[in-house]
A and B are shown apart, each in its own frame.
Chain A
Amino acid sequence: ASFCQFQTHLLKQLNNTLPPSKSRLPGFVQEANREIERILKQSIVQKESHSAIVVGPRSHYKTAIINHNLALMAQKYAQQFVTIRLNGLIHTEHAAINSIAYQLESKLRTLHGNKNGDLQISSGSLTEVFEKILRLIDATTVGNNNFSNSSRTEKVSVLFIFDEIDTFAGPLRQTLLYNLFDMVEHARVPVCILGCTTKINVVEHLEKRVNSRFSQRIIHIPTVKTLETFVDATREQLTVELPNEFTDTWNQLLAQKLKDETCNFFKMIKNNYETFRSLVLLKNSMFGLIARAKTIEELIEGLENCKPMDAYNQNQFDNSLSAKVKSLSDLELALIIAAGRVSLKTEDNVNFNLAYAEYSNMVKDVNKKMPIIPQASGTSLVLESTLRVWGKQDVKNVWENLIDLDLLAEKGSVGLRISALAAFQASNYHAMGTTIPFDLRTYQMQITLQELRRTVPKSSVYYSWTQL
């Protein structure tokens, strides 16, 4: 039970689900963390209005820092602010306005304990809703209308947390951002806007009038620069602070492993540092190690040899292009090599006819070179020494398999559309490729013949065909 407690704690730590007082952020983001903390404090405690944009790579602690600070704030000043979360992917401009009203309403209701549930912000048409929001935030204090010029503590700060704020800064009008940033300047209610984005040039997307209202405060989340910081961050993420009999053993082992540059675990970290440089990825790979261990011995052993993490990392590549080629049957392999040869000859225009012609020639040539084994007399099986040439009808199935496995792609086709609207438009457009007969459709290779040569084992019958 004690181990189970320890394990659960460690897993929560990996999952970032510990209570806010116990959870920690890695050291290298502390700089950004302090800045965000200051902004939040200024707007929640001192009731100032602020806006800032947090810029950092994907899955790089942007939301984590904000959530962490908000959770800490909520412990002390839960009555002082309401949070409104918007996501640029989920909310269109219209949905965002509705969502602001809805969230404001429900948050204020919980804040005031249901006593004025008749705020009626989220009802009415879109313009009405937006007007109500603006009036509510702009002019009056939230909640108690009779204290219209009330003291500082009576005011409730409104925090807007935007995820993917760059989608609101689109080419069209940017009304929402304009109004919200305008509130920061003019509203009497303290408004704080935090936007998260991955785009480093997010300010360039803002219109002039929007940009002039934005405070120009951009917080870049620092990234890991040296191996030491990465190792330190790993230590911080994995060190356990829990009154438990296993805590010391684990922490000591971890510290020792992180010092020893020759051990498997350190190599794993170094490998990650040199390729992905992502703590999240490291954590993902450690899930298996920690969750499957039944005793502390197993856990320690796992950390010693790093097998579960290795298994996770290897598993990520089990469906890579070369792994796919290795999983092909002999006929599929022959056909993909034939297609590769055709593509090299014809500047990357392959169709089924050409590939099949190449395939049948290939197999015939192989068969010519095969020594003819005189058939053994008697009742023994007749050994087929030659390769079978499959009929055109049968090879069609194989061709479709290859397309399905993404080894071939239709020429000039646009795979995945960027937005739902584009996908809808594409579905109304009849692609030329589907109207022409199966064997004449033009394809492109996803793997070239040179790459195939390196992937196909030398022992394969078709190896000699991997070059022209």
Chain B
Amino acid sequence: MVTVKPLVLFREYQACALSSFISDDPDLSPPNILIQGHQSSGKTLTLIRFFEDNPHIHNCWLSPVQLVTWKPLLQHVARTVSSSLINLFPHVNYDIQDALEAEDFYFLIRVLDTVLRCYEVLERKVNLFVVLDGLDQLKELDLELLPKFLKLHEMLDSNYKVQLKFIYTIRDAAFLSKYSTYNIPTIIFPRYKHEQVAEILLHEKSNDYIHSDALISKVLATGIDPDDSIFEQIAENYIKLIIQAFHSYTGNDIVALTDIMDSKWEAYVASITAQNIYEPLALYRSNIALYTTTGDSFTTPSDSNSNQLEDKEKATAYELSLISKYLLLAAYLCSYLEPRYDSKIFSKKTHLRAGRSSYGRRTKMETNPRYLQPSLFQLERLFSIFQAIFPIGDDKPGKTSIFNQNELMKANVEVYENLAELSSLKLITTASAKNADYLSYKLKWKINVPWEIITEISSTVNFDIAGYFSGLHN
């Protein structure tokens, strides 16, 4: 065999298997090869390295994730195959096929057939490897797509000088197991282990960090001139510490760890001083905050707990009207409190007539209801709870106002308007998402906002919603 095995860290077996399955001679390599591995397990990297190290093996690449549905995928297969053949054999007389004609698998075969027939003048048989990188990332994937590709070689003449061979990289192991009886040669890329992740990152990133501008300029600013080994040490320490701190957060995902590393590097460099540059421990302590928060968020400011900032954030987080905010709160209460205890919770009027009001809940619930999905409620209930919790306008003492007063909020036009707006903002939704008839008495509603946001909203209007949920459950 004349293939070279590429050197990829911790992928010896996979590289070995690739080089035994892929070769220049069409008779020696199977028509289909499957490669499976989860995100950032080095599938594409190993494959690219393999083809780089074996430039005599022809290949072309497609990424189905960009092609969305099967039709563009087919057209791109046709286009990529013909264009890479033109590049490979410019001397061959070739009449251009319209790749967009490949609107169906049958037409794809026809296009490929005419394309490959043009290359009958070649003196020996060659392989063209078509790599479908991430086939299961295709948006409109179905069960029959892969078998169609698997059988493509049977429909093309096996005597053509150019033989198409397909390599599929696939993320989802469950997808692959649906085709296990086809017995296609498969190479699995397992997830990296903790130590392997550490070694790969040290290998890949330390050079970048040693030569980064931020580090060099900072060290120059401190006015000392350490050896190169110090730079190395600083970078390596940093990488190790980040992995140690965030490995459980990211798992064995190299891409995620790299992102975290890159985002924190500048802050880390900024904390270097002449005192701690020689002492890793002191350096660690000087920026300990970096290792305790992921910083994986766009909203929360990482360190400064200034009140001003927080207030501003609250005010701007949801620019809703007062009515809307109370409507949301009421909707939350409707969805998560049981209707049978409403009268106990919300009724405030002293009863002029005789009669017992509800006793309220006697036993506590098993689980916190807020953890579960919201239950549906009728619009009438929403309005009555809304009225019960909406703050009363200022009482002007005076005789006339006693009789004329309009103490409790009524469901006026604004309330309905606000409700409609909340519904279009998807903060309150209906039971059936499609074509809801808002005027129907059958229509039921539910809140579509998690607890964290509701508490934020309630704190902006100084409404203690948590009080309604205290003592509900064990």
A: which residues have CB within 8 A of B? Answer: 7-8, 11-12, 15, 17, 57-59, 63, 85, 87, 89-92, 95-96, 98-99, 102, 106, 163, 278, 280-281, 284, 287-288, 290-292, 311-312, 315-320, 323-324, 327-332, 346, 351, 353-354, 357, 379, 381, 390, 392-394, 397-398, 401, 404-406, 415-420, 422-424, 427, 430, 432, 435-440, 442
Contact = CB atoms under 8 A, between A and B. Distances in A.
A165 to B, nearest CB: 13
A440 B450 contact: yes
B151 interface: yes
Contact of B373 (A327, A422, A440): A440
Contacts of B371: 351, 353-354, 357
Contacts of B152: 90
Given A85-B155, A281-B183, A327-B190, A394 B296 contact: yes
B249 interface: yes
Contacts of B247: 329
Contact of A329 (B143, B151, B188, B251): B251
Given A15-B28, A58-B182, A90-B148, A420 B70 contact: yes
21 contacts: A17-B28, A59-B183, A89-B144, A90-B109, A90-B148, A95-B105, A284-B30, A291-B1, A315-B17, A315-B190, A316-B188, A319-B189, A329-B251, A329-B252, A394-B294, A415-B174, A418-B142, A420-B70, A420-B140, A435-B426, A437-B448
Contacts of A330: 248
Nearest to B247: A329
Given A58-B181, A90-B109, A102-B110, A436 B373 contact: yes
Interface of B: 1, 13-14, 16-17, 19-21, 23, 25-30, 36-39, 69-70, 104-107, 109-110, 113, 139-145, 147-148, 151-152, 154-155, 172-175, 178, 181-183, 185-194, 247-253, 256, 281, 294, 296-297, 300, 367-368, 370-374, 426, 429, 433-434, 448-450, 452
B143 A91 contact: no
Given A315-B13, A331-B249, A416 B188 contact: no
Contacts of A416: 141-143, 175, 178
A287 B21 contact: yes
Contacts of A405: 38
B154 A85 contact: yes
A292 B1 contact: yes
Is chain A's interface secondary structure helix, strand, loop, or mixed overall?
helix
Nearest to A406: B174
B188 A315 contact: yes
A87 B155 contact: yes
B250 A63 contact: no
B368 A316 contact: no
A149 B452 CA distance: 87
Contact of A422 (B1, B70, B142, B192): B142
A90 B142 contact: no
A354 B174 contact: no
Contact of B186 (A96, A316, A328, A401): A316
A321 B152 CA distance: 31
B248 A17 contact: no
B1 A90 contact: no
A291 B21 contact: yes
A427 B68 CA distance: 11
Q: Find the residue from A91, A397, A423 having the highest chain B CB count within 10 A.
A: A423
A311 B190 CA distance: 13
A327 B37 CA distance: 13
Given A292-B19, A423-B140, A278 B183 contact: yes
A417 B143 contact: yes
A420 B183 contact: no
Contacts of B429: 435
A99 B109 CA distance: 10
A412 to B, nearest CB: 13
Nearest to A161: B154
A185 B369 CA distance: 71
Contact of A417 (B142, B181, B186, B296): B142
B346 to A, nearest CB: 25
A15 B30 contact: yes
A432 B191 CA distance: 32
A386 to B, nearest CB: 14
Contacts of A311: 13
Nearest to B21: A287
A284 B181 CA distance: 13
Contacts of B181: 57-59
B456 to A, nearest CB: 13
Q: What 4 A-B pairs have minimum CB-CB distances, sorted nearest first?
A: A291-B20, A95-B106, A331-B248, A318-B190
A329 B248 contact: yes
B70 A328 contact: no
Contact of A418 (B23, B143, B155, B448): B143
A63 to B, nearest CB: 6
Contact of B104 (A95, A324, A394): A95
Nearest to B29: A15
Given A346-B367, A415-B174, 5 more contacts: A7-B1, A327-B252, A351-B371, A351-B373, A419-B142
A275 to B, nearest CB: 12
A102 B104 CA distance: 15
Nearest to A349: B372
A332 B147 CA distance: 35
A151 B181 CA distance: 46
Contacts of A397: 249-250, 256, 294, 296
A423 B249 contact: no
A401 B251 contact: yes
A353 B473 CA distance: 15
A419 B143 contact: yes
Contacts of A58: 181-183
Contact of B433 (A312, A354, A435): A435
A440 B250 contact: no
Contacts of A96: 106
Contacts of B141: 416-417, 423
A57 B180 CA distance: 12
Contacts of B13: 311, 315
B286 to A, nearest CB: 14
A284 B368 CA distance: 54
A410 to B, nearest CB: 13
B268 to A, nearest CB: 18
A346 B370 CA distance: 15
